[in-house]
Amino acid sequence: GNSVTQMEGPVTLSEEAFLTINCTYTATGYPSLFWYVQYPGEGLQLLLKATKADDKGSNKGFEATYRKETTSFHLEKGSVQVSDSAVYFCAEGLSGGYNKLIFGAGTRLAVHP
Amino acid sequence: DAGVIQSPRHEVTEMGQEVTLRCKPISGHDYLFWYRQTMMRGLELLIYFNNNVPIDDSGMPEDRFSAKMPNASFSTLKIQPSEPRDSAVYFCASSLTRGGQDQPQHFGDGTRLSIL
């Protein structure tokens, strides 16, 4: 079946460091791809999305580019803040509009001052 | 706009008791999902509905779990009888069909369930 693989955490960075969280997917075709963020005690919030190859999703300084050739959707941010500390989930949609998403295991990010 | 609303936010009960979790999806959304999140197993999809009809319940762990969606604005997840291993955070999410492409799901804040 389809799956999403994320780099294992925790990822620990100093404030203003560059962030990359790797994500690869297995769905064939052109699934929609998503990044969600979960802050402590809260539900998952949509961070960004991309719906076709070479699309770049961006929000709050985070970016991810849909790479069909490498089946990847890596999350990046040029300068992280302490407030970015959270768990990040990559997800793929099952092509066909059924709105069912396959989530990765999540990557915990801790940013220190 | 109101988001997905779940109740209660926290539930502590004794083993063997019936537990009912409630969810109000975003108005107009036609998909509703129930998830369970634990440290050991991560985020698991339990069941999802389309237009109030259950589409896939293969993630429901046991017959002790049941879910209903009597109308477009309300769903319940019931555990009867509850066991300590059911302790987890349960999330409800909803989404809207649009143009044949997968749409993002919008999550509630979850119900933190503790079975003693």
Tell me if B95 and A99 make a contact (CB, 8 A cut-off). Answer: yes
Compute the average pLDDT of residues A23-29.
88
Q: Which of B9, B98, B105 to mutate to test the interface with A (most CBs of A within 10 A)?
A: B105
Instruction: Give the DSSP letter of residue B26.
Output: P
Compute the average pLDDT of residues B49-72.
94
Tell me if A97 and B48 make a contact (CB, 8 A cut-off). Answer: no
- Whether residue B75 contacts residue B5, with contact meaning beta carbons closer than 8 Å, is answered with no
**Length, in residues, of chain B:** 116
- What is residue B1's predicted lDDT score, i.e. its pLDDT? 65
Q: Give the rounded percent of residues in chain A with a pLDDT score beyond 70.
A: 96
Question: Any idea which residue has 């294992």 for tokens?
Answer: A8
Tell me if A42 and B106 make a contact (CB, 8 A cut-off). Answer: no
Q: Report how far residue A98's alpha carbon sits from residue B55's, in angstroms, rounded to the nearest whole number.
A: 10
Kindly report the three-state secondary structure assignment for every residue of chain A. Answer: CCCEEECCCCEEEECCCCEEECEEECCCCCCCEEEEEECCCCCEEEEEEECCCCCEEEECCEEEECECCCCECCEEECCCCHHHCEEEEEEEECCCCCCCEEECCCEEEEEEC
- What is residue A97's predicted lDDT score, i.e. its pLDDT? 58
Reply yes or no on whether the pLDDT at B101 is more than 80. no
Average pLDDT score, chain A: 92
pLDDT tens for each residue of A28-62: 888 889 999 999 989 999 999 998 899 999 999 99
- What is residue B44's predicted lDDT score, i.e. its pLDDT? 92
Compute the average pLDDT of residues B94-113.
87
pLDDT tens for each residue of B1-32: 689 999 999 999 999 999 999 999 999 999 99
- What is residue A94's predicted lDDT score, i.e. its pLDDT? 74
Q: Report how far residue A19's alpha carbon sits from residue A13's, in angstroms, rounded to the nearest whole number.
A: 8
